[in-house]
Amino acid sequence: MRLILRRKKKLSSIITICVVMIVVIVCLRLAYWQLQRADNKTQQLAQIAELQSQGVMTWQQMQQLPRQWNKTGLHVTVNGKLDNEQYWLLDNQVYLGQVGYDLLVMLTLANSTETVLVNLGWVKAPPTREQLPTVLIPSTLDTTTIQLKQGKLSGFILQDKKVQTDELGWPKRVQIIDLALFTKQSGQTMASLIGYRQGEGDDIATPHYEAVVMSPQKHHAYAVQWLLIGVACVAVALFASKKRGENEK
């Protein structure tokens, strides 16, 4: 009988140790991940600050920059012709507590054959999902400052990407920014980045883009949080083990 009890006690201790080790490893991994994200955000903010220190560029000046540079955060002035018939409404965008869409329009740059996708800003959603907002897009865009974003444009995916290909007619309600898909749908090749209109809201839409939403300090705080959870797990396990030993005595 004692032998069975000892085996059960030993097995219980092994299971407890394994569980605690798994929790601690997961917490350490998550803390390290948050530290990595903080480091990436710090580098991104430094790059944005460096680019913005050069002032607002024209599109032509931006193209003179090294091709390998990530242009995210750079402010550029553009103008040209807007496609006010073929455009996209990016779903599930919240501004000042209200749900709506971001208005994505193709801009053919003046004195150029290039087309760039521009996020003109936020528009309020109608009361029901069956309706799409009515927007008034001008045929031309006067000289406007946009902030560039390059690299991963899709953001958080709420639905399967296949949902987007089933949208018939224009405008198209989409869940993610997918330049390859947009090119296929519109028949126009676009630059491999997106421009976010800056400035105040108007009758078209309300610009609200921020290049970096979560600061490095918040990521550091989350890292500390995960470390404390790991420490608390070890402390609870040690306390429980000590308590059980005292009860057995």
Does 93 lie in the same domain as 176?
yes
Does 151 lie in the same domain as 113?
yes
Classify residue 209: in a domain, yes or no. no
Does 189 lie in the same domain as 97?
yes
The pLDDT value recorded for residue 100 is: 97
The pLDDT value recorded for residue 160 is: 47
Low-confidence residues of the chain: pLDDT under 50: 156-166
Does 185 lie in the same domain as 130?
yes
Does 93 lie in the same domain as 158?
yes
E strand or H helix at 174, and its extent? strand 172-174
205, 103 contact by CB (below 8 A): yes
Distance between CA atoms of 98 and 100, rounded to whole angstroms? 7
Classify residue 204: in a domain, yes or no. no
The pLDDT value recorded for residue 14 is: 78
Total domains in the fold of the chain: 2
Would the CA dihedral through 145, 147, 153, 156 be positive or negative?
negative
Does 99 lie in the same domain as 16?
no
Classify residue 231: in a domain, yes or no. yes
The pLDDT value recorded for residue 16 is: 78
Does 187 lie in the same domain as 80?
yes
Does 222 lie in the same domain as 193?
no
Does 130 lie in the same domain as 185?
yes
133, 203 contact by CB (below 8 A): no
The pLDDT value recorded for residue 83 is: 96
DSSP single-letter state for residue 69: S
Report the SS3 class of residue 173. strand
The pLDDT value recorded for residue 165 is: 47
Classify residue 64: in a domain, yes or no. no
Half-sphere exposure of residue 238, counting CA atoms within 13 Å on the CB side?
A: 6
The pLDDT value recorded for residue 50 is: 74
Here the tokens at position 173 are 């309600």
Does 239 lie in the same domain as 176?
no
Distance between CA atoms of 25 and 134, rounded to whole angstroms? 51
The pLDDT value recorded for residue 48 is: 67
> 166-178: buried (b, 16+ CB within 10 Å) or exposed (e) per residue?
eeeeebbebbbbb
pTM equals: 0.69
Distance between CA atoms of 82 and 84, rounded to whole angstroms? 6
The pLDDT value recorded for residue 167 is: 62
Range of the domain at 94: 74-197
Classify residue 129: in a domain, yes or no. yes
Classify residue 80: in a domain, yes or no. yes
- Could you report the per-residue pLDDT of 5-52, keeping only the tens digit for each? 566 666 667 787 888 889 889 999 999 999 998 888 788 677 767 766
Distance between CA atoms of 186 and 19, rounded to whole angstroms? 53
Does 127 lie in the same domain as 81?
yes
Would the CA dihedral through 209, 214, 215, 216 be positive or negative?
negative
Classify residue 59: in a domain, yes or no. no
Classify residue 58: in a domain, yes or no. no
Does 151 lie in the same domain as 78?
yes
